[in-house]
Amino acid sequence: MATLCKPAVSVPQYVITMEDTLALARSLHADHPQLPLALRLIQNTGVAKRHIVQPIEDTLRHPGFEDRNMLYEAEAKARVPEVIERALDHAELRPADIDMIVYVSCTGFMMPSLTAWLINTMGFPGHTRQLPIAQLGCAAGGAAINRAHDFCRSYPGANVLIVACEFCSLCYQPTDLGVGSLLSNGLFGDAVAAAVVRGEGGTGIALERNGSHLVPDTTDWIAYSVRATGFHFLLDKRVPTTMEPLAPALRTIADQHGWDATGLDFYIIHAGGPRILDDLSHFLEVPPEAFRFSRGTLTEYGNIASAVVLDAVRRLFDEGGVADGSRGIIAGFGPGITAEMALGRWTTTGASLDTAMTGGQVVGRLERDSEPSPVGEPVR
């Protein structure tokens, strides 16, 4: 069975605290008629601090979309390789062992995707599959896990590298003055995360089932307006109410697997904000403590978009994991409104329930080229 191994996570060196955010809002928007509401909403996020890729003085300036996107590419190339190396170490694999790279990001644009640059510079085989995902927003972390799981089911024994690179601060728009935009300015942070889904072996979450769910008629609740100045984030005030229709989706996927979603051993939930976690705790009928990994991410890093679920998984590992066979759920939420969900059991051996039920039959590894593909020179 495909096993999600320990993720590696890195955050930039520049820090902005809750106090900094509130002070900036007061100074930049002193005449805003809804400033008291915005300040209250920012305080209620519980985000103690966030990390950003450049000093706040530079973040507040907008040099134009072209310069912003050039910085996104430069920062991605500078920060992603080290995180990948740690994720590979956690999985006890080398670049040559990877069969597909899933790269998720919604805060910058590159074509070719960063996956091509990684293959050229880090020693991944030339036949490595590339799957960039750019338009699922915060749900993309869950989608990456699910697409990796699907690939490993199609090619038993294959290994998939997941990379989430989110520099939300590069999407700051000084002219966006709606309350939703002001709240977003105090909620989102920057981070890079990577993890390997091993087709065989490994310690972590042995993935057993995945699924998606879209809440009808909510496509404009979380969205980008793409303008000359770049990505303008649109956040509808109804977004926090989405846990009421999404909690049944989590119950359904668990029911389909013969599990009770209210009685699992661990929960990895996208920390879009405290209201999301509070409402899901209520509608799913699980104690707030069950979402401690997600709350830890939100408090220390803010909403780091697609990297949230990987950081929450990392926190599960850092706590010491759980007993072998413990059952859990992973859920990422994002534009659509979309939920990407996965079920799995904790394993220290990579052993699978599916393998046991099929008499231990193991299908051959994804075929590799007989001759190694040449690796290009590093892109400078």
| Identity of the residue numbered 88 | L
pTM for the model = 0.89
Mean pLDDT for the stretch of residues 274-280: 92
Mean of per-residue pLDDT scores for the chain: 90
Least Cα distance to 204 among 26, 348, 7 occurs for: 348
Q: What is the spatial distance between Cα 228 and Cα 221, in angstroms, rounded to a whole number?
A: 22
Q: What is the spatial distance between Cα 162 and Cα 195, in angstroms, rounded to a whole number?
A: 5
Indicate where the chain has its CATH 3.40.47.10 domain(s).
Answer: 3-200, 205-351
Query: Which tens digits make up the pLDDT trace of 45-99?
Result: 999 999 999 999 999 999 999 999 999 999 999 999 999 999 999 999 999 999 9
> Which residues have C-beta within 8 Å of that of residue 358, sequence separation ≥ 6?
none
Query: Which tens digits make up the pLDDT trace of 216-263?
Result: 999 999 898 899 998 998 888 888 889 999 999 999 999 999 999 999
Query: Which tens digits make up the pLDDT trace of 309-365?
Result: 999 999 999 999 999 999 999 999 999 999 999 999 999 985 444 433 333 333 333
- What would the CATH number be for the domain defined by 3-200? 3.40.47.10
- pLDDT value, residue 350: 59
Strands (E), the chain: 3-4, 8-10, 14-17, 49-52, 100-104, 129-133, 159-167, 190-198, 204-214, 222-227, 230-235, 266-269, 327-334, 338-347
- pLDDT value, residue 323: 94
- With a pLDDT cut of 70, the percent of the chain lying above it is 92
Superfamily of domain 205-351: Thiolase/Chalcone synthase (3.40.47.10)
Mean pLDDT for the stretch of residues 111-118: 97
Q: Which of 138, 152, 165, 171 is catalytic?
A: 138
User: Is position 165 annotated as part of the catalytic site?
Assistant: no
Whether the upstream peptide bond of residue 112 has omega within 30° of 0, thus cis, is yes
Are the beta carbons of 148 and 100 closer than 8 angstroms?
Answer: yes
